[in-house]
Amino acid sequence: MNATQPSRPPLQPIQKRRVIPRPKRHLRQRSYQVMAVESTAKIAVNLLITAVAASALAQLLPYHWSQQGKLREISTEVKLMEGHVNGLQTEFSRNFDPQQTKTIMQQQGYRFDPSQRRVVLMNPDRREDAQTDLLP
């Protein structure tokens, strides 16, 4: 027991791992193939997205044009109605204006103020015809 023991374990021959050389050409060629497949897939997906977008535009453009036509028609009708409404508003305000009541009554009722004289226009040619008709 009192024997001296070596301070280090005995040296054993280190086993070297066997490195199997890989063919580098094959790996490079495989990585190029993977990149080519990936690029082809990306292009195919982008073409598919482009086709879907073009199809959607082809369907939406006629609808958009018809809506623009309807909008033009409606805006034209709105302008016409605005003119009509403005005319009605001025007529309404005129009808309820206390200063205009006499003139409105004369226009609508054919009644005249006693201080006014009634003027009747006659054609002079008709007057001569009317006189000859009256003579026997």
pTM of the model as a whole: 0.44
- 19 phi, psi to nearest 5 deg: -95, 120
Q: Locate tokens 């023991």: which residue?
A: 5
φ, ψ (nearest 5 deg) of residue 124: -65, -30
Q: Give the tens place of pLDDT for each residue, 93-124.
A: 888 888 887 777 777 776 667 777 777 788 87
Q: For the chain, give every domain's residue range.
A: 24-112
The answer to which of 39-43, 80-84, 104-108 has the lowest mean pLDDT is: 104-108
